[in-house]
Structure 1
Amino acid sequence: MGVDLSELVEDIKRELSFGELKGKKISIDAYNALYQFLAAIRQPDGTPLMDSQGRVTSHLNGIFYRTISILEEGVIPVYVFDGKPPEQKSEELERRRKIKEEAEKKLDQLKKEGSTEARELKKYSQMSIRLTNEMAGESKKLLELMGIPTIQAPSEGEAEAAYVNSLGLTWATGSQDYDSLLFGATRLVRNLTITGKRKLPKKDVYVEIRPELIELSDLLKKLGITREQLIDIAILIGTDYDPDGVKGIGIKTAYRIIKKYGKIENAVEKGEIPKQKITFNVEEIRSLFLNPKVEKPNTDLELKDCDEKGIEELLIKQHDFSEERVKNAIERLKKAKREAKGAERQKGLDQWF
């Protein structure tokens, strides 16, 4: 689920207009986006969208229509898909699996009891979300049919998205998590795939969600620390590689400790952190963020012509999408890509003036 750095970034993040993103490429953590679609695109009782055969289609609905909306704003998305996760992430993955299993049991119980409490049904339905390999594969295939650039990461998608950004191939990364900053992304754009009016959890209140920008250099300058020290702060509060972190240490305390001692080992040596509380390999986790398994993309990241027949086959024939809506969306897609390409060319020319 990523590291929660929200308290540290609060003062330096800023809202973005889509005008500021026009003509720019954003490397998006595909799995992060797909989970957002699976969570948000549901019936009032929390049931995901399904086709006539009972197969979930929320992810396809989101990746298709939301990607078109992003393109219509002049933003060029580059979706990065996860590869094999590092061994050190197995504890976190097992923890997530158990949470989903418990949520599924609770949801089944509520349904057997004939519960009509929509909020509870939706809560446990969302908690039990599973993104299968088949869903991810279909999403990647749909993007390729749409002519949208995709990258297959050798390991963590977020690490690869950050690496692509650090190479200058994209302007920023796009994710709801903050991990890409730890992986070295120069910029992080949040809320890109969920902009618009959204309902607050457990409240009948709607708010307008807008893109947010966090620049790594600004964050490090404000905090007066290095990226390595930001990673150490994250390790203390818990990452996907050490989910529990150091018990009793929150983000403010972690920041104070690293600011004072420079790194975790120094704080342990000075007795600030009891040695027995470090139940994980600090250097190994630090290295996973500083030297993740990544590789330079072996394909260009340009928009290509879409395969209209292929899109119609996948969405309309295989998954019962509305023919009229899909065909209208394809026309929007073609127009949006032409305009996004034009905006990117203009951006390139602007740098010379």
Structure 2
Amino acid sequence: MGVKLRDLVVQKPITLPELAGKTLMVDAYNTLYQFITTIRSMDGGLFTDEEGNVTSHLMGLFSRCTNFAKHKLHPVFVFDGKVPKLKQSELDRRKDIKAEAGSLYEEAKAKGDVADMKKYAARTSRLTPSMVKDAKTLLGAMGIPVVQAPAEGEAQAAHMVAKGDGWAVVSQDFDSLLHRAPRLVINLNIAGRKRRGLSSVPVEPAIINLKQTLQKLELSQKQLIMLAMLVGTDYSKGVKGIGPKKALALIQKHKTEKVFAEAGWDDHNDTPWQQVYETFTTMPTTDEYDLQGKAYNKDQVYSFLMDRGFSPDRVKKTLESLPDTQQKRLGDW
């Protein structure tokens, strides 16, 4: 669900020219979910090829990555690995929500209510193994590096940025800050617009600096994690009635772990706060990754997208719009 820190962090606008030449660690699952939630037909259905393979995420990925190349951004897509044990209850909750949305979609379909069909269909979004595989295949053909995280992709992305192998994490969620990402870029949508309900609104990319945020809030990294836990994370419900601003006030008042007793943690959570905190601080990451990527193969990109039912003219036009170069990676343009 992503921790609710938007109202607390220090955000500053950043332009695409300012990001040119920088290596950006992209939260792959977060990005792909954006695509399968928003790139749908009028009745809410996902786009597919003739064999039923979902292509909505590939449409978004191809467009996003070719635009990254035109603006000289160097993306690295970081994929989730094994789900942390404490996240299972959150996944079960999401599964129930999707099941309910599926029922509401069928009701809207029976009524012929296209607007509600699209609204509820978006809430049923799921990434399947075959969809992830196709995404990795396309990225590989485009010469864009793929990193497989041992656990949470955001933790792995934060780890690589903290090491200096990337400049910032790219995600719409703020969880990477809890994993010590020095910088986080949000709203990195080349189109400059973001879906909100059935319409879209203009947005600008923004950079969030962890150090500046901690200084503004007068918090340590540990206290930031504690604050997020009170509000609610993927690993705990948090405390009912405590939002970001109230959590900040409590942390600033109590400063130590005593805040959990004062807030009534045990009355709202089955899992001890120590176990949740440890999940954040001991999240597995790896140094086994290749940031060079495979060689960009224009013919392979074209062939793969033709197999997935893309328009030949549109794909050719997009590929031809890119610089004609012998650079190894698409992102090197």
Instruction: Provide the residue aligned with 1:267 in structure 2.
Output: 259
Instruction: Provide the residue aligned with 1:196 in structure 2.
Output: 192
CA contact (8 A) 1:72 1:336 kept: no
Q: Percent identity?
A: 39
Q: Give the alignment partner of residue 331 of structure 1, picking from 290, 295, 320.
A: 320
Instruction: Provide the residue aligned with 1:232 in structure 2.
Output: 226
Instruction: Provide the residue aligned with 1:49 in structure 2.
Output: 47
Q: Give the secondary structure class of the aligned counterpart of 1:77.
A: strand
| 1-structure distance, mates of 2:326, 2:188 | 17
Q: Give the alignment partner of residue 314 of structure 1, picking from 298, 304, 309.
A: 304
Alpha-carbon displacement from aligned partner over 1:234-284 (angstroms, at most 9, x marks no partner): 000110000x21122221111111111113x31245x45465345322122
- 2:123 aligned with 1:118, yes or no? no
| 1-structure distance, mates of 2:269, 2:126 | 32
CA contact (8 A) 2:102 2:120 kept: yes
**Deviation at 1:49?**
1.5
Q: Which amino acid aligns with 1:85?
A: V
- 2:100 aligned with 1:102, yes or no? yes
| 2-structure distance, mates of 1:8, 1:337 | 45
**Deviation at 1:65?**
1.4
Alignment of 1:120-159 (within 5 A): 120-159=116-155
**Deviation at 1:327?**
2.3
| 1-structure distance, mates of 2:44, 2:239 | 35
CA contact (8 A) 1:194 1:209 kept: no
Q: Return closer, same or farther for 1:195/1:211 CA change in 2, 3 Å cut-off.
A: farther
Instruction: Provide the residue aligned with 1:23 in structure 2.
Output: 21
TM-score, length-normalised on structure 1? 0.88
**Deviation at 1:336?**
8.5
CA contact (8 A) 1:24 1:171 kept: yes
**Deviation at 1:310?**
2.2
Q: Return closer, same or farther for 1:294/1:33 CA change in 2, 3 Å cut-off.
A: same
Q: Give the secondary structure class of the aligned counterpart of 1:192.
A: coil
| 1-structure distance, mates of 2:86, 2:324 | 44
The CA RMSD measured in Å over matched residues stands at: 2.0
CA contact (8 A) 2:101 2:124 kept: yes
| 1-structure distance, mates of 2:283, 2:325 | 35
Q: Return closer, same or farther for 1:276/1:337 CA change in 2, 3 Å cut-off.
A: farther
Instruction: Provide the residue aligned with 2:4 in structure 1.
Output: 4
| 2-structure distance, mates of 1:188, 1:333 | 27
Q: Give the secondary structure class of the aligned counterpart of 1:170.
A: coil
Query: Which segment drifts farther, 271-280 or 49-58?
Result: 271-280
**Deviation at 1:315?**
1.1
Q: Which amino acid aligns with 2:296?
A: C
Q: Give the secondary structure class of the aligned counterpart of 1:130.
A: coil
**Deviation at 1:149?**
0.7
Q: Which amino acid aligns with 1:328?
A: K
Instruction: Provide the residue aligned with 2:270 in structure 1.
Output: 279
- 2:205 aligned with 1:211, yes or no? yes
| 2-structure distance, mates of 1:137, 1:146 | 14
Runs of 4+ in 1 over 6 A off after TM superposition: none
Q: Give the alignment partner of residue 62 of structure 2, picking from 61, 64, 71.
A: 64
Q: Return closer, same or farther for 1:13/1:195 CA change in 2, 3 Å cut-off.
A: farther
Instruction: Provide the residue aligned with 1:167 in structure 2.
Output: 163
Instruction: Provide the residue aligned with 1:222 in structure 2.
Output: 216
| 2-structure distance, mates of 1:44, 1:312 | 27
Aligned length: 331
Q: Give the secondary structure class of the aligned counterpart of 1:6.
A: coil
The unaligned stretches of length 5 or more in structure 1 are 343-353
**Deviation at 1:333?**
4.6
Q: Which amino acid aligns with 1:313?
A: S
